[in-house]
Amino acid sequence: MTKILRLVLIIALVALVVSWFNKQSGISQIQWLGYQIQISTSLLIGLVVIFAAIILLIDRILRFIRNLPIMMAYGWQYRRKINGDRALGLGFVALAAGDSRSAQKQAKKAEKLLGKGLLPDLLAAQAAHLSGDKNAARRYFAQLSKNKDTAYYGLIGIMNLQSQNNDHEKSIAAAEKALKIQPDSISALTHIFWRNIEEKEWEKSLEIIALLKPQLANYEEQKKQFENREIGLCYLLAHHSSEQKDKTIWLKRALKINESNIACLVSLARLYQKSDLDKQMTKIVERGFILKPHQDYIDLLRDGFTNNIAKFIVRLTKLARQSKYKTDAYRLVIAASLDADILPPATSLLSEIPQNEMTNEDYLLVAELAEKQTDSSRAKIALQDAARAPRGKAWRCCSCAAITVQYEPICPQCSEIGMIDWENESRHFMKPVLQQKIVP
């Protein structure tokens, strides 16, 4: 609508000017080369305007003819760019769908239309990698690594390829080069971490974790996993150290990360016990029992009450009532009471365990108590309930759910570091992230 109004106004203005010139009277004289020309002034102006319009028209025609090749080339390039971008898009869609053949086809088309560049090279590299053509993928990633803007991504690609080929020296070299470009690279740091684990370079692995943890500040699950791995590595270093001082340092470092870690607390308590530091040992054991009850704490504490088992049960009951995990603590005290044939505490504490929290261990304790009270029918019912009840806590790997008899710093099933913990069967296990398969 605006364009139409503008055109109407221009036509009206031209008509007004022409009408005004027609109404003007006057004669113009031109003397040139001995000739004298007399012409109406309005006609002369009209001729000048027409002449100027013709000159402008000729100029436009000449400009069009001169720019025609450029315009044709631009249109051709534009069409190539459109088709190249479309090939890139289809190629990345094919990659996402896992269709390596279509991805390679679109990569070649994109490279032909767009030439060498970041996206065509990346698509070609990923397509070759997906199809299993490692030589082609290596060439493309090497080409990416030579470009300043894409060097980091090319090196990460080479790192992964060399790792798949089990050429760990070259994969580590590529990871280290990538770290020089991007020091906070989680991919490169994680790769080096697992290589150090394979080589059993525990202290170097801890150095990598120290670099990784700040980068994982916003990723709670990954951060938790690497904290568990750090605890596992500290435990390994403690048990491989020959000096008690070094053992203590590593265990205390682990406990700074997780003060309730049973394996580290028990190991530290045993170190104090061997050194006849009974007060320190008792303090650690009682604190550990309150934080996270376990049978190992009871075994350590029992040595100090060999002459007065009743006092030992009273002490355990007092600690159990302070624990955050009262049901777990009660269960251990009940078992200790039954072993000592002190039935009243066992009867009292069993009644305090909620029915919906009872495990097969609880029903087995009920059956044992019933047998000691010569109540065979009640013992039989409890055994039947135990068969149907959920399992209690055990040493379980948070990655693969494998169960071990005792704490292991390295899972014998999945070779994960520090992932075994004292947990329920129903716990939601963490998904392994930032992890590569390692050789135990």
Taking residues 122-147, report their average pLDDT.
74
421 beta partners = 396
Share of the chain above pLDDT 70, in %: 84
Quick count: other Cβ atoms within 10 Å of Cβ 48? 10
Share of the chain above pLDDT 90, in %: 30
Closest CA to 263 of 412, 421, 423: 421
User: What is the CA angle 197-202-204, rounded to 5?
Assistant: 90
Cα 431 to its chain centre, rounded Å, is 11
Element (H, E) at 32: strand 27-32
Q: What is the pLDDT of residue 392?
A: 85
Q: Which domains does the chain have, with CATH numbers?
A: 260-353 (1.25.40)
Q: Does residue 116 surpass a pLDDT of 70?
A: no
pLDDT tens-digit readout, 287-305:
999 999 999 999 998 877 7
pLDDT tens-digit readout, 2-38:
767 776 777 777 667 666 666 666 776 777 777 777 7
Q: What is the pLDDT of residue 436?
A: 45
Cβ-based neighbours of 236, under 8 Å, separated by 6 or more: 202, 409, 410, 417
Q: Does residue 438 surpass a pLDDT of 90?
A: no
Separation of alpha carbons 135 and 137, rounded Å? 5
pTM of the model: 0.71
Q: What is the pLDDT of residue 232?
A: 94
pLDDT tens-digit readout, 235-290:
999 999 989 999 999 999 999 999 999 999 999 999 999 988 989 999 999 999 99
